[in-house]
């Protein structure tokens, strides 16, 4: 699946290298796209200041989530609970609860909701404020209600969600330019981040300190992703991408 500057989401058969269908509706660049781990849903974030939830089986939009006041740079599903987190250049992160939409979609499969915009079936549960500049990325911890956010204020913030409350746990500082993305290691208490300062950093979440930094001399880093089961990671930069493996908190040669 991919999102593009043509405002469209495309779903592909990667073996056939063929586009299966297109989800159209966004009015500006699509920044990120993601499949739900269980439901037949797709989540997209766009410069049109909205998130969209789609049913890829019926190829229809389920809900259009509004409220951000600037580009939505990233949106992601919680790995287990009916939650979505979205990051925006309006300096905020929103956490959305789609419990009602999930229940309704199971009951009425194949039917379109009557109210797409500002759907009452998806509600904002938390608005995280604390970054001084636009937020580029948000990621859930794989096993608990902790979030990390990466922003143009050069910091990574850690947040805790509990019922209807939330608070900032800590801020990780060390990057010297916009932080493009960050993610939690799937199985270790380690966080990875990358930045327009041309570095990729590893952080010890227990001690909240930097434990490694890797630098490219010419390219800015933009995105990072983890393999779901193996100890492999990939990061995208100006001229391509790199795949690497972590060994004893160090990069494998």
Q: pLDDT tens for residues 2-49?
A: 999 999 999 999 999 999 999 999 999 999 999 999 999 999 999 999
Question: What is residue 78's predicted lDDT score, i.e. its pLDDT?
Answer: 96
132 and 209 inside one domain: no
- CATH assignment of the domain containing 86: 2.130.10.10
- What pLDDT, on a 0 to 100 scale, did the predictor assign at position 109? 54
Mean pLDDT in residue range 78-103 = 96
Per-residue burial over 26-51, b = 16 or more CB atoms within 10 Å of its CB, e = otherwise = beeebbbbbebeebebbbbbbbbbbb
43 and 157 inside one domain = yes
| Count of domains observed in the chain | 2
- Paired tokens of 80: 């287990």
What global pTM score does this model have? Answer: 0.91
Of the candidates 215, 214, 186, 191, the residue with the CA atom closest to the CA atom of residue 204:
191
End of a domain among 173, 202, 236? 173
97 and 216 share one domain: no
Work out the pLDDT band at 112, boundaries 50, 70, 90: low
For residue 119, what pLDDT is reported?
61
């Amino acid at each position: 699946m991919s999102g593009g500057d043509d405002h469209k989401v495309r779903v592909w058969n990667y073996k056939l290298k063929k586009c299966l269908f297109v989800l159209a509706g966004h009015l500006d660049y699509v920044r990120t796209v993601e499949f739900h781990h269980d439901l037949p849903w797709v989540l997209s974030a766009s410069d049109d200041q909205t998130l969209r939830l789609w049913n890829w089986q019926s190829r229809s939009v389920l809900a259009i989530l509004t409220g951000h006041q600037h580009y939505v740079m990233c949106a992601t599903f919680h790995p287990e609970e009916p939650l979505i987190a979205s990051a925006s250049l309006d300096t905020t992160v929103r956490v959305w609860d789609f419990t009602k939409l999930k229940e309704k979609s199971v009951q009425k499969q194949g039917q379109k909701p009557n109210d797409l915009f500002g759907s009452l079936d998806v509600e904002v549960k938390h608005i995280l404020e604390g970054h001084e500049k636009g937020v580029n990325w948000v990621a859930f911890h794989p096993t608990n209600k902790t979030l990390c956010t990466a922003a143009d204020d050069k910091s990574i913030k850690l947040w805790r969600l509990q019922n209807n409350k939330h608070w900032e746990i800590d801020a990780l500082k060390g990057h010297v330019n916009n932080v493009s993305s960050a993610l939690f290691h799937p199985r270790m208490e380690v966080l990875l981040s990358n930045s327009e300062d041309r570095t990729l950093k590893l952080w010890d979440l227990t001690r909240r300190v930097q434990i490694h930094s890797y630098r490219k001399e010419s390219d800015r880093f933009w995105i990072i992703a983890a393999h779901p089961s193996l100890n492999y990671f990939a990061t995208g930069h100006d001229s391509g991408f790199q795949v690497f493996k972590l060994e004893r908190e160090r990069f494998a040669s």
